[in-house]
Structures are given as structure tokens and as C-alpha cells.
């Protein structure tokens, strides 16, 4: 794999990940662009003990452009996109409309002194383009291309983790307008947060309490994986190095977790063999998901990685994949109980979901 770093017209970084060593990446971005926006602000909610990012500049971000004006397609003589090259394999670049950024402006005072601390939303947001083919999807990628994407995820996780202002790196993909996707080109994102996210803190607290109860010998995630593998009823697919299963406590109608069978903290810690084995299994799971109702399922695919500096021994890398579709023509909405109280009510039994996914004809 060849890695080439360049910059866009406004100074944002762009990185090509090429599968050919002879790929030439000397095409310059000649657009006339305004400077990137300064970092937004974040405010700490004292009631929930959570940081909230306030990024008003994102209201003007690109929204469902026509195909011939897609900012993630390769550039052409008629249209200059975010990627100057006329073709590419995998590309990562700084988001033009970031929620978190290292371009920190002047310090601001607290919104409510003594109650709501206010800080610059330092960090970084990146876009990951999986392919130059606008009409493709992650499910249509080859295992070799998935491996290239994994190399990009590992590269960015490792590099971003060296920054003093980053505490957690989150790689994810949103797919489908039902999820809120504003660009249909197959792509994902990476958020590098200046704090450990609330969900991760909660998971690691549970893992710590579980370890303490078992006198320090057990890992919560490893024991859940072992129990699911032993039960078998919610296993969707697997191979020697990875297991895909519907969790017994699934919150979403169709939710699948993919775990490496060996505990590792993050994507960079995966071996070459584990990275090779992930692609074929994940592609099978995505095809099963799309085959449920014979349509492209909306989904979120979220990598849960260890924080950069804390509790890395407690964490267990895994991918959470879930869809908001519960039946043809019906979506799962986060209504009163879920949105206001955080109590999920699932309309599909996890065991039924797993069986339905296993029965999809590939």
C-alpha cells in the first residue's frame, strides 16, 4: 500500500491510500476556497456530566447534492471536488465542516460560570472515502479494498492518538438518508474527540466493576463473547478470528456486533491475519442485512476502540452495526422512552433477528 499526504487549497490535509505502488498523486487542488472555520465550542452539561459540541457553522454544510456535483467523487475537467485526483482507491481528508478541529480560536468565557464550563472543541474530524465509485456501497467492496480501508482506519487511529488534544478516536459509517446521511457517495468518518465519550465511559465503568467482582481475572467483553459463542442461538456468522452475533440485549431491530476472537484495544493492534479475516466476514454480514427485505438497509457501523490514555486494559475492540429499519416500510424511531429516558424498547427479539439474518440466501 502506498500512502501519499497532500493538502487541499484551503490547507486541509488529504491522504491517499493506494493499492498500487506506482500511483501518482501530484494533481493540485486549484479551487478558490475560504479558510477552514475555527473550532466550534463545547459546553459541559453538569447534570449529565457530558460535553456537548455547539457547531453552528455546520448548518451550511453540503446537503444531498446532485451526482454530478458530489464533493466525494474524483475531480473532472467540469467539476472540482474535494479529491483533486481523477481516480482513487481510498482517501482520507479533513472535514470541511468539522464538529471538532485543531484550529482553535481565542478562549471564551464559561456560559454559566461555575456550572457550565465552555472550551474550544479541539480535536479533528475526517472523511474516509471507501471508493471512487459513486454508485457502490461498502457491501459491494472487495475483501482487498476492505483491507485497504482497515489500513486507513489503523493509520488514522495511530496518528491521531499521538496528539495531546485527543482522548478517543471513533471510526464510523452512516448509510442511508433514513440515518441522516447528506452525501450518498460511499464514505465514513473519523471523529477524534478531546474527551472520552459518555458511552465509552459507561462501558468501561461496567467492565471495571465486573473485573473487581471477579477478583481481577475476567474481562466483561471477553466473557460476553464466550457466552454468546457457547449459546450459539444469536450467532450470525464467524470465522477462525472473528465472530458476528446479535447481542442478547440488542436495542435495535437488527443489531450485530463483530468481535475479534482475541482481545485487543484498537484497530492498530490487530494482526495482519485479523485484518485479512475481517473483510470477508463483514461483507457477508452486510449482504445478509441488505438481503433481509431485499433493499439497501440504512445502518450505522461504529467501531468501539479503547480511549487513548485510560482503561485500555479494560477495553475490547468491536464493531457495532445496527439498522433503524424494523420491517419493510417501517423504521425504528427513538421516541419518548428512548430519547427522554434512555430506555430502549425493541420490537424484534434478538434470537428472531439472528435467525432471520442466518436464513438470508446469499
187 is catalytic: yes
Q: How many CB atoms lie within 10 A of CB 103?
A: 16
Beta-bridge partner residues of 245: 235, 257
Question: Contact, 123 vs 194, CB < 8 A?
Answer: yes
DSSP state of 58: G
Composition of the chain by helix, strand, coil, percent to 5: 25, 25, 50
- The CA distances from residue 225 to 190, 248, 319, in Å, are 26, 11, 13
| 134 in a labelled binding site | yes
Coil, helix or strand for 93?
A: strand
Instruction: List the catalytic residue out of 7, 44, 187, 318.
Output: 187
Coil, helix or strand for 128?
A: strand
| 185 in a labelled binding site | yes
Of 190, 340, 354, 184, give the one whose Cα is nearest residue 266. 190
| 70 in a labelled binding site | yes
How open is the CA angle 134-137-143, to the nearest 5 degrees? Answer: 120
How open is the CA angle 188-192-195, to the nearest 5 degrees? Answer: 140
User: Active-site positions?
Assistant: 187
Binding-site residues for Zn(2+): 70, 73, 134, 185
Binding-site residues: 70, 73, 134, 185
Amino acid at each position: 500500500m502506498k500512502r501519499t499526504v497532500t493538502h487541499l487549497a484551503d490547507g486541509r490535509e488529504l491522504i491517499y491510500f493506494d493499492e498500487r505502488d506506482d500511483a501518482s498523486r501530484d494533481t493540485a487542488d486549484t479551487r478558490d476556497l475560504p479558510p477552514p472555520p475555527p473550532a466550534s465550542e463545547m459546553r459541559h452539561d453538569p447534570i449529565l456530566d457530558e460535553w456537548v459540541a455547539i457547531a453552528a457553522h455546520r448548518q451550511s454544510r453540503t446537503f444531498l447534492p446532485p451526482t454530478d456535483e458530489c464533493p466525494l467523487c474524483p475531480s473532472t475537467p467540469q467539476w472540482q471536488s474535494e479529491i483533486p485526483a481523477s481516480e482513487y482507491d481510498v482517501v482520507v481528508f479533513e472535514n470541511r465542516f468539522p464538529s471538532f478541529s485543531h484550529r482553535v480560536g481565542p478562549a471564551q468565557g464559561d456560559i454559566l460560570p461555575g456550572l457550565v464550563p465552555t472550551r474550544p472543541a479541539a480535536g479533528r474530524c475526517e472523511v474516509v472515502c471507501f471508493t471512487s465509485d459513486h454508485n457502490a456501497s461498502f457491501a459491494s467492496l472487495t475483501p482487498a479494498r476492505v483491507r485497504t480501508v482497515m489500513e486507513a482506519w489503523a493509520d488514522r487511529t495511530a496518528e491521531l492518538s499521538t496528539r495531546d488534544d485527543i482522548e478517543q478516536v471513533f471510526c464510523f459509517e452512516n448509510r442511508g438518508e433514513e440515518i441522516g446521511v447528506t452525501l450518498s457517495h460511499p464514505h465514513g468518518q473519523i471523529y477524534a474527540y478531546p474527551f472520552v465519550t459518555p458511552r465509552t465511559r459507561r462501558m468501561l465503568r461496567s467492565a471495571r466493576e465486573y473485573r473487581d467482582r471477579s477478583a481481577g481475572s475476567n474481562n466483561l467483553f471477553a466473557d460476553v463473547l464466550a457466552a454468546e459463542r457457547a449459546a450459539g442461538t444469536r450467532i450470525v456468522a464467524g470465522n477462525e478470528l472473528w465472530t458476528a452475533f446479535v447481542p442478547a440485549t440488542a436495542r435495535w431491530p437488527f443489531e450485530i456486533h463483530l468481535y475479534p476472537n482475541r482481545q485487543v484495544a484498537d484497530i492498530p493492534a490487530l494482526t495482519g491475519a485479523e485484518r485479512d479475516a475481517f473483510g470477508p466476514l463483514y461483507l457477508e454480514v452486510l449482504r445478509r442485512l441488505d438481503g433481509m427485505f431485499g433493499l439497501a438497509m440504512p445502518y450505522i457501523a461504529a467501531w468501539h476502540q479503547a480511549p487513548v490514555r485510560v482503561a485500555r486494559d479494560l477495553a475490547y475492540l468491536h464493531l457495532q452495526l445496527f439498522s433503524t429499519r424494523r420491517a419493510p416500510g417501517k423504521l425504528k424511531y427513538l421516541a419518548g422512552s428512548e430519547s427522554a429516558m434512555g430506555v430502549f424498547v425493541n420490537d424484534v427479539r434478538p434470537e428472531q433477528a439472528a435467525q432471520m439474518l442466518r436464513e438470508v440466501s446469499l
